[in-house]
Amino acid sequence: MSETTRSEYDVVVAVGPEGVHDGVLDLAVAEAERRQTGLELLHVVHSLVSVPVGVEAVQSLDGALTEVGRRVLTSAADRVRSRGGGRVPYTTHLLVGRVSTTIADRVPPDGVVFLERHDSADRLLTMSVSTRVAAHAHAAVVVVPAAWRRGPYEPRPVTVGVDHPDEALAQVETALAFARDTGRPLVVVHAAWLAEPYQDLVFGNTTRDEWVHDAEERLDRALAKLPDHADVDVSTAVDWRRPADALVGASLVSAFVVLSRRRERAIGPHLGAVTRTVLRHAAGPVMVVDRT
C-alpha cells in the first residue's frame, strides 16, 4: 500500500461487522487528544476471491456487506462525536480487501490502531485479525477486550513485559514514553521460569532463588541505561512464574500491558507464544509495539 493510501490521522479504530464498544472508543479518543491528531474509523469488507454463484448474487452480497459497514461506521462516528466534544476531528472509511492486511497497511508508521477482542463463538475470527495486525503492522497495535470499560481515572501503571533482562532497554523505551505522556507509573515485569523437566539440567548448583536474583540484577543493569526518567516512577517485578500467567495477571491491575513484536529478517514479523496468549486472555488493553 502506498503512502497516499495511509490514513490522514495517526489514530485508527478498526470497526468490525458487530460494531465496536464504548471502551475502545474512549481509549482511541483519549489517544487522539494526547497526540493532538484526529481519528479514523475504518471498516474493511473482506474481498471475495471466488464464490460458486452468479454475478447478481455476488453483487447482492457485496451490497449487503457494504451496508453493514456503513451502519456500524455511522454508529461509531456518532459516539466519537459525543466523546470528542468537537476537539477531535474524525473521518470514516469503508475499504474492500484482505481485512488484516488492509488494516495493518492503513496505519501510519508512527500511529496506533485499536482493535476489539470478542470472547464469544466468533473469537477465532476476531483473534485471527487482531493477532495478524499486531504481527504485521509497522505501528503500535492496541487490542481491547469487548467487555472492558474505562472507569474513573486511577493511577494504574503501564506494565511492560521483558522476555530477556539483558535486552530490556529495547523493550522498555516505548512503554516509558507512553507512561510519561499519560502520567502513569511504569512497572517492568520479567517472569523467570523454566519447565520442571528442564530445571535439573539448567540449574546445576544454583537454586531457583538464585536464578531469580540473577535476573533481577541483569534487569537492573539494563534499566540503568535508560535515559533520564526522574519524572516517571519506574519499578520492577521479577517472579518465578510462567510469563503468560504473570502478564495476564498484571493486566488485571494495569492501565495497559505493553509487549514487543519481533522482526526476524529471515522469517518476517512474529508474535511469540506468550504475546499471543496474552492477547487472547488479558483483562484489559494490550499494546504491541516494535522494539526500539
pLDDT score of 3 more than 50:
no
For residue range 249-281, what is the model confidence (pLDDT) as tens digits? Answer: 999 999 999 999 876 554 555 788 999 999 999
pLDDT score of 237 more than 50:
yes
Distance CA 150, CA 13 (A): 16
| Helices (H), ranges, the chain | 22-35, 55-84, 99-106, 123-136, 168-182, 196-203, 208-223, 243-251, 273-281
For residue range 95-132, what is the model confidence (pLDDT) as tens digits? Answer: 998 999 999 999 999 999 999 998 765 554 455 799 99
Residue 192: pLDDT band (50, 70, 90) is confident
| Amino acid occupying residue 252 | L
- Average pLDDT of the residues in 221-232: 91
Distance CA 95, CA 134 (A): 19
The whole-chain average pLDDT of the chain stands at 87
* Stated pTM of the model: 0.89
The predicted pLDDT at position 2 comes to 37
- Average pLDDT of the residues in 223-228: 90
The predicted pLDDT at position 1 comes to 38
| Helices (H), ranges, 160-254 | 168-182, 196-203, 208-223, 243-251
Q: Which of 184, 187, 167 is nearest to 258 (CA)?
A: 187
For residue 238, list its beta bridge partners: 190
Distance CA 185, CA 105 (A): 32
Q: Which of 151, 148, 153 is nearest to 21 (CA)?
A: 148
| Amino acid occupying residue 61 | L
Distances (CA, A) of 218 to 10, 52, 164, 192, 221: 36, 59, 9, 12, 5
Q: Which of 288, 289, 279 is nearest to 117 (CA)?
A: 279
